[in-house]
């Protein structure tokens, strides 16, 4: 059986305790294993992003425990958490979040900048490789504002890849893109997943979710459904089909 | 993240917002330039004034009637007639360090030649007066009144008087002018002294002591006594010798209080120097305030920059930047901004000193210490005023920062 990477137990997250209290997560327990491709679904405000942020160690739960690779996250220092995000995780956001007025290359180099084990020449090399792997070989030195939405999201994915992460967290990565471009992005994710990277993605588009391997549905901060997707759709085939129309 | 990467990232960020960075630097630039310029011009002015005063003779000792002002106002012991010509001999005989001495009387009178006239200061003094006060003869000669016997109606005139009364100063020697209706023959014209602190040093006539004292003024006493030593280092000794003679042998005391004051040119120079140095410092301090204002400008812009770049900071934190690295990133950026500003300011300060020195016709030299001080100060400004915004950035929560609009 595959190794358990993420193991959360009875996680709750309460915003604004006291008055105007929002219980964004209410007793959520989950196990996610190596090699999985998980989609988080649910209505707006159901707590998807909150859960993803906690899983990605960007936020701390109000209560409950989180074991990452068998190690409890709650107790460790801020610096150690930064290090985990820097070495083990990659993040992709709906709004791309690229640095303005900088080149694709500089954006992709960013996570490695905070890893002092990596020399500047190696940093450059790895960033170029990551850009090539997302199909942006010809856009390495372009400024980010000269790129299309899909290209920008691919830069963001290259940035998430560059540190060879164990897990990629993606919050609505196709939310701002048309369906054809979305398929291309999903194809990238499927390829990465093939190579063994665990992917946790938030999406509310059913056809996108059908390309992942597991679907978790949240409602009012609770998990109401958790199903394996028997036959995930192949993003590349969908893209080719869409092009034929 | 290595320090070089931090520096490179700071430079890139400054370069990305070039015009804003320049405006931010402006306060520092102006502050540093004015501190450096002020210090250079101030010390230049101070040096040039000290130089001018030095020309008046640094060995000079002046004895005046009147109680020492430091002991308060005591008008009953003040007697304008306390100094006599006979005192001269006693001082010269009893004070071994005194080499030159002359009684001095002075008045402002009208001098007339033909249809021209002017109002110079007319001084009556012995021949030593010229040496003590660094007067040199340019045309003609000096009168030969060493001992004060002379009642000759001759005089030596300054350049201004020569120009006022004659078409050409060369014509002056040998002519008779009238000073308060009394005819005097001009026997010499003095070298130009120039202006000293707004006073025309050439609007003068100098004549034998008794001629002026008796014929022009009708006095029996002396206004001032000028004495001088051969060696500058003997001045203090001479002062105490003179004081002893005045007190003991000449008994110029009334109710235990001396009726005279002794002042030296050196003292005046020292006082003047202190005042000038203080003025220079004051100017530099005022200029320094603009450095602080510049620092507040940096803080303001850095705060704006932190707010503007909140999403960027959030992203950096999300991809694993430790918060102390974020702190350093912003701190280094503000230090780099103020150091660049400082360097531009130093160059501008040099230019200011150069131009100001040329305009005011003096040597305004920028000192290494003021450059180092300005550099250090702008470094401090960068740290102090950059710290608060940098800490604000470092304390951001990554998710909230990423959501920031
Ligand atoms: N920082 C916050 N402060 C207060 N309330 C918050 C905060 N973040 C999220 N919430 C609340 O928590 C709940 C869950 O928010 P979350 O962002 O996880 O929803 P979501 O499922 O991602 O929705 P969407 O599909 O619209 O992105 C919402 O009711 C939201 O208002
Ligand atoms: Mg969301």
Q: What is the pLDDT of residues B213-231, one digit of tens each?
A: 988 898 888 999 998 888 8
Write out pLDDT tens, residues B22-67. Answer: 888 888 898 889 888 888 888 888 787 777 776 667 788 888 888 6
Hunting for tokens 């180092």 — which residue is that? B372
Q: Which pLDDT value is given to residue B320? A: 92
Write out pLDDT tens, residues B79-88. Answer: 677 888 888 8
Mean pLDDT to the nearest integer, B99-120: 90
B275 and B228 in a single domain? The answer is no
Q: Yes or no: say if A89 and A168 are a contact pair by the CB < 8 Å rule.
A: yes
Protein residue whose Cα sits closest to atom 29 of ligand 1: A45
Q: Does B398 touch chain A (CB under 8 A)?
A: yes
Q: B355 lies in which domain range?
A: 3-52+271-403
Triad A198, A201, A202: Cα angle to 5°: 160
> Is a pLDDT exceeding 50 seen at residue A183?
yes
Question: Could you tell me if residue B72 is inside a domain?
Answer: no
Q: Is A219 helix (H, G, I), strand (E, B) or coil?
A: strand
Tokens standing for B222? Answer: 């002396």
B275 and B331 in a single domain? The answer is yes
Q: Number of CB pairs < 8 Å for A and B?
A: 58
Tokens standing for A205? Answer: 């588009």
Q: What is the distance in A from the centroid of ligand 2 to the CA of A51? A: 9
Q: Which pLDDT value is given to residue B345? A: 92
B16 contact residues in A (CB cutoff 8 A): 101
Per-residue pLDDT band at B148 (split at 50, 70, 90): low
Q: Which pLDDT value is given to residue B79? A: 67
Mean pLDDT to the nearest integer, B317-334: 91
B398 and B282 in a single domain? The answer is yes
> Is a pLDDT exceeding 50 seen at residue B77?
no
Question: Could you tell me if residue B70 is inside a domain?
Answer: no
Q: Is the CB of A50 under 6 A from ligand 1?
A: yes
Question: Could you tell me if residue B45 is inside a domain?
Answer: yes
Mean pLDDT estimate for chain B: 85
> Is a pLDDT exceeding 70 seen at residue A83?
yes
Protein residue whose Cα sits closest to atom 25 of ligand 1: A44
Q: What is the distance in A from the centroid of ligand 1 to the CA of B184? A: 107
Q: Which residue has the higher pLDDT, B293 or A125?
A: A125
Per-residue pLDDT band at B3 (split at 50, 70, 90): confident
Contacts 24+ apart (CB under 8 A), A185-188: A185/A150, A185/A153, A185/A154, A185/A157, A186/A211, A186/A235, A186/A238, A187/A235, A187/A236, A187/A239, A188/A134, A188/A154, A188/A157
ipTM tops the 0.95 cut: no
Write out pLDDT tens, residues A119-128. Answer: 989 999 999 9
Cα A124 from Cα A130, distance rounded (Å):
10
- What is the dihedral sign for C-alpha B397, B399, B401, B405? negative
Protein residue whose Cα sits closest to atom 30 of ligand 1: A45
- E strand or H helix at A170: strand A167-171
Q: Yes or no: say if B383 and B335 are a contact pair by the CB < 8 Å rule.
A: yes
Task: Identify which of A49, A93, A221 to mutate to test ligand 1's pocket (most ligand atoms within 8 A of the CB).
Answer: A49
Kindly state the percentage of chain B with pLDDT values over 70: 94
Cα A198 from Cα A163, distance rounded (Å):
14
Protein residue whose Cα sits closest to atom 11 of ligand 1: A24
Per-residue pLDDT band at B207 (split at 50, 70, 90): very high
Question: Could you tell me if residue B89 is inside a domain?
Answer: no
Per-residue pLDDT band at B71 (split at 50, 70, 90): very low
Q: Which pLDDT value is given to residue A174? A: 92
B309 and B398 in a single domain? The answer is yes
Question: Could you tell me if residue B311 is inside a domain?
Answer: yes
Domains and CATH numbers, chain A: 36-60+77-244 (3.40.50.300)
Question: Could you tell me if residue B164 is inside a domain?
Answer: yes
Number of domains in chain B: 2
Hunting for tokens 């897990």 — which residue is that? A167
User: Could you say which of B209, B232, B255 is where a domain stops?
Assistant: B232
B129 and B48 in a single domain? The answer is no
Question: Could you tell me if residue B130 is inside a domain?
Answer: yes
Q: A-contacting residues of B 292-321, CB under 8 Å? A: 311-312, 314-321
Distance spanning both ends of chain A, measured CA to CA: 42
CA distance A79 to chain B (A): 6
Phi-psi label, residue B180: left if phi above 0, alpha if psi -120 to 50, beta otherwise? left
Cα A182 from Cα A206, distance rounded (Å):
12
B304 and B398 in a single domain? The answer is yes
Answer whether 0.80 is exceeded by the pTM: no
Q: Which pLDDT value is given to residue A192? A: 95
Question: Could you tell me if residue B339 is inside a domain?
Answer: yes
B321 contact residues in A (CB cutoff 8 A): 82, 86, 113-114
Of A53, A59, A114, the CB nearest to B319: A114
Cα B245 from Cα B63, distance rounded (Å):
12
Contacts of B4 (CB under 8 A, 6+ apart): none
Mean pLDDT to the nearest integer, B164-185: 88
Hunting for tokens 């120009």 — which residue is that? B163
User: Could you say which of B232, B259, B289 is where a domain stops?
Assistant: B232
Q: Does B322 touch chain A (CB under 8 A)?
A: yes
Write out pLDDT tens, residues B378-401. Answer: 888 889 888 999 998 999 999 989
User: Nearest Cα to B370, choosing from B253, B314, B291, B303?
Assistant: B291
Length of chain A: 245
Q: Provide the pairing of β-strand A198-202 with A37-42.
A: parallel
Cα B111 from Cα B122, distance rounded (Å):
9
Kindly state the percentage of chain A with pLDDT values over 70: 100
Q: Which pLDDT value is given to residue A101? A: 84
User: Nearest Cα to A150, choosing from A115, A175, A120, A119?
Assistant: A175
User: Could you say which of B232, B247, B262 is where a domain stops?
Assistant: B232
Residue A23 pairs in a beta bridge with A14
Q: Which pLDDT value is given to residue B231? A: 81
- Comparing A103-112, A143-152, B268-277, which segment has the lowest mean pLDDT? B268-277
Mean pLDDT to the nearest integer, A60-89: 93
B44 and B139 in a single domain? The answer is no
Which ligand minimizes its atom distance to the CA of A46?
1
B225 and B317 in a single domain? The answer is no
B113 and B186 in a single domain? The answer is yes
Mean pLDDT to the nearest integer, A218-233: 94
B28 and B107 in a single domain? The answer is no
> Is a pLDDT exceeding 70 seen at residue B197?
no
B19 and B138 in a single domain? The answer is no
Phi and psi angles of residue A45, each rounded to the nearest 5 degrees, phi first: 85, 5
């Amino acid at each position: 059986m595959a190794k358990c990477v993420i193991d959360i137990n009875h996680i709750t997250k309460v915003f604004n305790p006291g008055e105007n209290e929002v219980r964004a997560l209410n007793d959520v327990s989950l196990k996610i294993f190596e090699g999985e491709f998980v989609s988080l679904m649910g209505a707006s405000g159901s707590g998807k992003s909150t859960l993803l942020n906690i899983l990605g160690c960007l936020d701390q739960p109000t209560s409950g425990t989180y074991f990452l690779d068998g190690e409890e996250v709650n107790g460790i220092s801020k610096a150690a958490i930064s290090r985990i995000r820097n070495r083990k995780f990659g993040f992709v956001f709906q709004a791309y979040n690229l640095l303005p007025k900088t080149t694709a290359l500089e954006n992709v180099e960013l996570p490695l900048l905070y890893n002092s084990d990596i020399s500047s020449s190696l940093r450059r090399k790895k960033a170029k490789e990551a850009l090539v792997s997302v199909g942006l070989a010809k856009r390495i030195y372009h400024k980010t504002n000269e790129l299309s939405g899909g290209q920008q999201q691919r830069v963001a994915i290259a940035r998430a890849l560059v540190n060879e992460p164990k897990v990629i967290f993606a919050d609505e990565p196709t939310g701002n893109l048309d369906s054809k471009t979305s398929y291309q992005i999903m194809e990238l994710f499927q390829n990465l997943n093939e190579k063994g990277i665990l992917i946790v993605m938030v999406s509310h588009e059913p056809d996108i979710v059908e390309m992942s391997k597991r679907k978790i549905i949240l409602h009012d901060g609770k998990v109401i459904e958790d199903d394996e997707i028997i036959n995930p759709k192949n993003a590349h085939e969908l893209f080719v089909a869409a092009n034929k129309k | 993240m290595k320090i070089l990467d931090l520096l490179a990232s700071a430079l890139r960020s400054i370069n990305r917002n070039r015009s804003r960075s320049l405006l931010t630097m402006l306060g520092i630039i102006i502050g540093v330039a004015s501190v450096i310029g002020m210090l250079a011009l101030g010390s230049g002015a101070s040096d040039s004034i000290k130089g001018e005063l030095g020309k008046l003779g640094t060995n000079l000792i002046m004895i005046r009637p009147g109680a020492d002002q430091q002991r308060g106002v005591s008008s009953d012991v003040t007697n304008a007639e306390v100094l006599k010509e006979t005192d001269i001999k006693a001082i010269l005989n009893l004070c071994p360090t005194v080499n030159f001495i002359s009684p001095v009387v002075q008045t402002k009178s009208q001098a007339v030649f033909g249809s021209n006239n002017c109002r110079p200061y007319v001084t009556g003094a012995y021949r030593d007066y010229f040496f003590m006060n660094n007067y040199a003869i340019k045309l003609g000669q000096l009168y030969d009144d060493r001992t004060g016997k002379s009642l000759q109606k001759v005089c030596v005139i300054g350049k201004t008087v020569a120009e006022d009364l004659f078409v050409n100063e060369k014509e002056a020697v040998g002519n008779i002018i009238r000073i308060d209706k009394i005819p005097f023959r001009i026997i010499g014209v003095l070298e130009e002294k120039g202006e000293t602190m707004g006073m025309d040093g050439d609007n003068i006539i100098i004549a034998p002591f008794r001629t002026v004292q008796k014929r022009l003024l009708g006095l029996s006493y002396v206004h001032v006594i000028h004495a001088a030593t051969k060696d500058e280092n003997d001045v203090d000794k001479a002062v105490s010798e003179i004081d002893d003679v005045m007190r003991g042998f000449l008994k110029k005391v009334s109710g235990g209080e001396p009726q005279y004051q002794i002042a030296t040119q050196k003292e005046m120079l020292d006082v003047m120097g202190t005042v000038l140095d203080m003025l220079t410092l004051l100017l530099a301090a005022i200029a320094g305030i603009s450095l602080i204002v510049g620092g507040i400008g940096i803080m303001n812009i850095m705060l704006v920059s932190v707010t503007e770049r909140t999403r960027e900071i959030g992203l950096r934190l999300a991809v694993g930047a430790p918060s102390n690295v974020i702190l350093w990133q912003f701190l280094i950026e503000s230090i780099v901004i103020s150091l660049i500003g400082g360097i531009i300011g130093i160059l501008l300060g040099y230019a200011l000193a150069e131009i100001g020195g040329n305009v005011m016709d003096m040597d305004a030299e920028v000192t290494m210490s003021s450059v180092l001080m300005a550099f250090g100060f702008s470094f401090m400004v960068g740290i102090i005023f950059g710290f608060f915004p940098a800490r604000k950035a470092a304390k951001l929560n990554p998710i909230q920062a990423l959501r920031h609009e």
